[in-house]
Structure 1
Amino acid sequence: MEVVNRIKLSILTMILLILIYALIMMHMEGLSFINALYFSIVTISTVGYGDITPTTELGKIISSIYILCGVGIGLYALGNIAEFFVSGYFKKTDRMRKMENRIKKLKDHYIICGYGKCGKVITKKLEKSGVNYVVIDINEKILEKELENDPNFNYIVGDATHDEVLIKAGIDRAKGLISAVSRDSDNVYITLSAKRLNPNIFVVAKAEEKVSMDKLLIAGADRVVSPYIIGGLRMAALALKVDILDFVSTFMSIARYEYDEDLEIRKIEVKSNSPLVDKKLYESRIREKFGANIIGIKKRDKLVINPSADTEISSGDIIYAFGTGEQLDNLERVARGLFNNSNDQI
């Protein structure tokens, strides 16, 4: 039982005990209600002014029992009140209030449904990228512990398959939703609900079973990820091409930890208003201007690996680029036609 409920129960028990004893004293000692209530409070508090005392033997016996019970309940109540303050309940309440206010103000954030092993990895990645998020899970204790360790952690306790929970997480203002609960059926349901509440939201869903991948896409998921397929491919690649993968991992680790360069591979869509459209790679001067390297271009259903300098960039192409976060941010801004000054233009 929560400490607040224990405090309420003990105080209610004390009030009932005081009233019951007062009524007994009215009947046995012939006291008025005010005097009986006064005598009851004085007795349970062990003040003992002595102006009113039980005159009958039965009254003295009942008073003795009343004192023992009353003192025990009083100490129990005081102990719970002390625990209320010592355990930092006010601090916890304040953290919750601040978190709820943060969630109400969030915009273009991500909603993570499920805080299991996969959800925790996703959350840490979003935190590292400086992206706002809200976690939804039914395990309140785990979420409270995370908030205690990280005051900026945002969560909502509830079932993500329920619309009211998604609405509380601000799905109408969210940029994306990642459904990573354990059951594929729940991921399908969450995807359907998310797309109905916010048709423009970008949904990434987890699939435990391969047969669920098509169902999630039909439900409206923009991307479907199977951790087992990805993990299996990675393990096979490590076994077959360990030297190459070790080189890539080592290279990126050295850049990150020794030179503080956060290297990554990013997929960037070229919009119709981008200055890159209808230019060949050598004309775009992407490497010269942004420092990023183009390792692939997806043209409709065709993927061009290591494209030549004469490869033409078209509207709707997907560019796979390798570089630092800042380099890729600048390239993505131009690819999406969001350049703001002459330095951004080609």
Structure 2
Amino acid sequence: MDVVDKIKISIFVMFSLIMAYAGLMAYFEGLNTLDAIYYSITTITTVGFGDFVPITSNGKIITAIYVLLGVSIGLYTLGNFADFFIGGYFQKTKQLKIMDKKISKLKNHYIICGYGKSGRVVVDKFEKEGIEYVVIDNNIDTLENELSNNPNFKYIVGDATHDEILYNAKINDAKGLISSVSNDSDNVYIVLSSRRINPDLYIVAKADEQVAMDKLLIAGADKVVSPYVIGGLRMAELAVKPGILDFVSTFMSIAKYEYDEDLEIRKIIVEDGSELHNNTILNTNIRQKSGATIIGIKKENNLITNPPADIVLDSDDILYAFGTKEQLDSLENLAKKQKKQ
């Protein structure tokens, strides 16, 4: 329960106790309403001016019980106020205001629906890449805890199947959406809603069941990922071709942990009017300019692995390149259309 709710409840209980005691004193001690309320307040605050004292036996018994309850509730209320002021409530409120301001300025960002195991991996990757994002999830405790540990974390509490929540995440200004909630049917609904609101949105969805993969594609997802299918294929490859996968994994692990180099494979599209367009790999000096290695080229429906240096790169060719983030970023710039001066 939130500290503000605790304060509200304790104040309500204290007010109810004061009024109940005042009513009983008016009945048993014959006090008028104003004097009864005054006596009730001075008693619960332990001020005790001595101008009123219970005379009847019932009044004395009720007063004894009232003092014990009143002091306990008063201490509880003070403790909640201390938690409110000293426990960082204002700091949390300030954090939330800063976060809301950041969300209001988001453009070309990604919306991550669901902050479970998959969502956490996506957020970690985006944090390392410096990609703007906002998370949508129902678990407020998990989200608040993440924000307290990471001031750059941005979230919206709510159900991503509701359009208003997607609008709050600025879906019309978003570049992409990743739907990774735990329920396949919810993922389908989120994809349908997101595609209807923003037809240009790039959508990646998670599917636990293989039967849901086709439904998500029909709903409008650009790509569908099944952790179980990927995991199964990985295990099959390790069983049949352990040497190749072990080599790639080992190579990347050594690069990361011994040389602090993050190596990855990226898909890059050659744009019309770019430096690479209508040029060969040899003439463009891709290796010298970017440092990245081209391991494959997809021309329409043909995939060319280990492409020759004299192959001509056309617009919409897809390059599969291997290298560090900086090297791949450099290659991506070469593949983009050159701006006119």
* TM-score, structure 2 normalization: 0.91
Counterpart residue identity of residue 153, structure 1 = F
Structure 1 partner of 2:247: 247
Is structure 2 residue 77 aligned with structure 1 residue 73? no
Report the count of equivalent residues. Answer: 341
Structure 2 partner of 1:344: none
Structure 2 partner of 1:319: 319
Mapped contact 2:134–2:156 kept (Cα < 8 A): yes
The within-5 A match list for 1:1-346 is 1-338=1-338
Q: Deviations over 1:78-106 (max 9, x none)?
A: 23333434543333333222222222222
Residue 30 of structure 1: how far off its partner (Å): 4.3
Mapped contact 1:135–1:154 kept (Cα < 8 A): yes
Residue 229 of structure 1: how far off its partner (Å): 1.9
Gaps of 5+ in 2: none
Distance in structure 2 (CA, Å) of the matches to 1:339 and 1:321: 24
Instruction: Classify the secondary structure of the residue corresponding to 1:289.
Output: helix
Counterpart residue identity of residue 262, structure 2 = D
Mapped contact 1:161–1:186 kept (Cα < 8 A): yes
Mapped contact 1:333–1:339 kept (Cα < 8 A): no
Residue 264 of structure 1: how far off its partner (Å): 1.5
Distance in structure 1 (CA, Å) of the matches to 2:7 and 2:82: 10
The 3 A distance-change label for structure 1 pair 267 and 32 is same
Residue 246 of structure 1: how far off its partner (Å): 2.3
Mapped contact 2:178–2:204 kept (Cα < 8 A): yes
Residue 50 of structure 1: how far off its partner (Å): 1.0
Residue 182 of structure 1: how far off its partner (Å): 2.0
Distance in structure 2 (CA, Å) of the matches to 1:228 and 1:59: 72
Mapped contact 1:111–1:169 kept (Cα < 8 A): yes
Q: Deviations over 1:233-254 (max 9, x none)?
A: 2222222222222222222223
Instruction: Classify the secondary structure of the residue corresponding to 1:172.
Output: helix
Mapped contact 2:275–2:338 kept (Cα < 8 A): no
Residue 268 of structure 1: how far off its partner (Å): 0.6
Distance in structure 2 (CA, Å) of the matches to 1:65 and 1:324: 73
Residue 309 of structure 1: how far off its partner (Å): 1.9
Gaps of 5+ in 1: 342-346
Mapped contact 2:171–2:194 kept (Cα < 8 A): yes
Residue 283 of structure 1: how far off its partner (Å): 2.3
Counterpart residue identity of residue 154, structure 1 = K
Distance in structure 1 (CA, Å) of the matches to 2:206 and 2:315: 30
Distance in structure 2 (CA, Å) of the matches to 1:322 and 1:56: 91
Of 24-33 and 163-172, more deviation after overlay is shown by 24-33
Mapped contact 1:44–1:67 kept (Cα < 8 A): yes
Distance in structure 1 (CA, Å) of the matches to 2:54 and 2:73: 22
Distance in structure 2 (CA, Å) of the matches to 1:339 and 1:228: 43
Residue 129 of structure 1: how far off its partner (Å): 1.0
Instruction: Classify the secondary structure of the residue corresponding to 2:108.
Output: coil
Q: Deviations over 1:259-278 (max 9, x none)?
A: 33322111011122223222
